[in-house]
Amino acid sequence: MKKRILVTGGTGYIGSHTVVELINAGFEPIIIDNLSNSNIGVLDGIKRITGVEPIFENIDLKDYVSLNKFFQKYEGIEAIINFAASKAVGESVKMPVMYYRNNITSLLNLVELMPKYGINHIVFSSSCTVYGQPDVLPVTEQSPIQPATSPYGYTKQVCENIIRDTVKATVGMKSILLRYFNPIGAHPSAEIGELPNGVPNNLLPFVTQTAIGLRSELKVFGNDYNTPDGSCIRDYIYVVDLAKAHVMAVERMLDKKMKRSVEVFNLGTGTGLSVLEIVNKFMEVSGVNLPYQIAPRREGDIEKVWADPSLANKELGWKADTPLEDVLSSCWKWELKLQERREKDQQNS
């Protein structure tokens, strides 16, 4: 019998890549998603990659009654990976109530129902945003948590605490909190990838959309930071490497290898790259000349952050080892695929 894993937000960007890796590792993922920031076609992409169409339920996690019915219908779920959340920093500043409701209510419903259905394990998508601008780099899991600078960031801190408190109060419950750095890239097959809504906020989708001609130029937000080339530094982590870490976290839980009932892991490469380094490397890999100009700093940006991933390397046996060239070419291949789709849609309309 394959072990059943509930993946909330499983048609989303990181969720869909994780579903593929779970299937590859012999699990039976079940997806819950309300398709608020994804689309049902992602299931076809997963099927084309794996040969398996995962079970899918269109449920809003805020809806306690529907979630309860879901757990009645699907017995034997051994772990939950909770991706479902709103994730745009700027949007969260404009719509704080929506962010608190989406991200916190959903998690509360899950952790309230878990003991009722004998589910003891939950992996939670957290973020390096909890560290703010760290005083010391690289960032370890012991680095201090800084006051959040956006409602989005605050939901990640609150959700981590909700999990810690619930685990403390619930016999047998365990959790792994994964703090992602900057996820980028697409599946090498280009069957699944990131589907940004409207004008992308994140660097890589903006880069590829500019390269394909959808945007006239990239704005590099600031070249006067205290970094070697003046642009901000981030730790860009390949989404497939990130997805694999979730499978390892689930295996660690189910194989009873956890050393504490809540464990935290940074998921990054350990290498910081500047915006300009990414831009130049992308041009090299794609062969496309990317129009860009230096623009003022973006409000709320931190100067530099990168991970110390050694705990995840040691304890999960995980390493982000995909070369940057391959990661960036997966971004480009995915954008070319999206362009094909856009052209087809235009012809059909």
Q: CA distances (Å), 74 to each of 8, 26, 111, 192, 263, in order?
A: 14, 18, 17, 26, 27
For ligand UFG, the binding residue among 203, 307, 328, 338 (CB under 6 A) is 203
Nearer to ligand UFG, 87 or 333 (CB): 87
For ligand UFG, the binding residue among 174, 234, 244, 333 (CB under 6 A) is 234
Q: Decide: is 310 part of the binding site for ligand UFG (CB under 6 A).
A: no
Dihedral of CA atoms 184, 188, 190, 195 in degrees, nearest 10, equals -10
Alpha-carbon gap, residue 71 to 82, rounded angstroms:
15
Q: Are 188 and 240 in contact (CB under 8 A)?
A: yes
Active site residue 100: no
What is the chain's alpha carbon radius of gyration, rounded to the nearest angstrom? 20
In angstroms, how far is the first alpha carbon of the chain from the final one?
46
The least distance separating ligand UFG from the CB of residue 266, rounded to whole angstroms, comes to 12
For ligand UFG, the binding residue among 14, 21, 87, 102 (CB under 6 A) is 87
Q: How many whole angstroms from its chain centre is CA 214? A: 24
The least distance separating ligand UFG from the CB of residue 203, rounded to whole angstroms, comes to 4
Segment interacting with ligand UFG (CB under 6 A) among 16-24, 35-43, 219-227, 307-315? 219-227
Q: Decide: is 126 part of the binding site for ligand UFG (CB under 6 A).
A: no
Q: Decide: is 304 part of the binding site for ligand UFG (CB under 6 A).
A: no
Q: Decide: is 223 part of the binding site for ligand UFG (CB under 6 A).
A: no
* Among 13, 99, 152, 236, the one annotated catalytic: 152
Alpha-carbon gap, residue 71 to 109, rounded angstroms:
12
For ligand UFG, the binding residue among 232, 307, 327, 331 (CB under 6 A) is 232
Segment interacting with ligand UFG (CB under 6 A) among 3-11, 98-106, 196-204, 259-267? 196-204
Q: Decide: is 157 part of the binding site for ligand UFG (CB under 6 A).
A: no
For ligand UFG, the binding residue among 43, 128, 195, 242 (CB under 6 A) is 128
Q: Are 157 and 130 in contact (CB under 8 A)?
A: yes
Residue 337's Cβ-count burial label (10 Å; 0-12, 13-18, 19+) is middle
Q: Decide: is 119 part of the binding site for ligand UFG (CB under 6 A).
A: no
Alpha-carbon gap, residue 246 to 240, rounded angstroms:
10
Q: Decide: is 89 part of the binding site for ligand UFG (CB under 6 A).
A: yes
Applying the rule CB under 6 A, the residues between 238 and 277 that interact with ligand UFG are 275
Q: Decide: is 141 part of the binding site for ligand UFG (CB under 6 A).
A: no
List helix spans (H) across 134-189. 151-169
Closest-CB residue for ligand UFG? 232
Q: Decide: is 301 part of the binding site for ligand UFG (CB under 6 A).
A: yes
Q: Decide: is 312 part of the binding site for ligand UFG (CB under 6 A).
A: no
Q: Which of 204, 82, 80, 221 is nearest to 155 (CA)?
A: 82
Total length of the chain: 349
Q: Are 177 and 162 in contact (CB under 8 A)?
A: no
Residues carrying an active site annotation: 152
Contacts to ligand UFG by CB under 6 A: 87, 89, 127-129, 153, 182, 201-203, 206, 218-221, 232, 234, 275, 298, 301
